[in-house]
Amino acid sequence: MFISQAWAQAAGGGGTDFIVQLFPLVLIFVVFYFLLIRPQQAKVKAQREMLAGVKRGDRVVTGGGIIGLVTKVISDSELQVELAEGVRVRIIKATITDIITRGESVRGAKESEEDDKPMLPAAAAAPERKSLLGSLFGGKK
Domain boundaries, the chain: 19-52, 55-114
- Tell me, yes or no, if the pTM score tops 0.85: no
* Residue 106 confidence (pLDDT): 52
Instruction: Give the CA-trace dihedral at 88, 94, 100, 104, to 10 degrees.
Output: 70
C-alpha 9/C-alpha 71 separation (Å) is: 78
Phi-psi region of 80 (alpha: psi -120 to 50; beta: other; left: phi over 0): beta
- Output the average pLDDT for the chain: 80
Q: What is the pLDDT of residues 19-61, one digit of tens each?
A: 889 999 999 999 999 999 999 999 999 999 999 999 999 999 9
Q: Are 67 and 61 in contact (CB under 8 A)?
A: yes
Helix, strand, coil distribution of the chain in percent, nearest 5:
40, 20, 40
* Residue 103 confidence (pLDDT): 77
- Asked if residue 12 has pLDDT above 70, the reply is no
* Residue 68 confidence (pLDDT): 95
Would you give the distance in Å from CA 80 to the centre of its chain? 19
- Asked if residue 118 has pLDDT above 90, the reply is no
CATH topology of domain 55-114: SH3 type barrels. (2.30.30)
Give me the percent of the chain exceeding a pLDDT of 70.
66
Tell which residue, 88, 128, 120, 126, has the closest CA to residue 101. Answer: 120
- Asked if residue 135 has pLDDT above 80, the reply is no
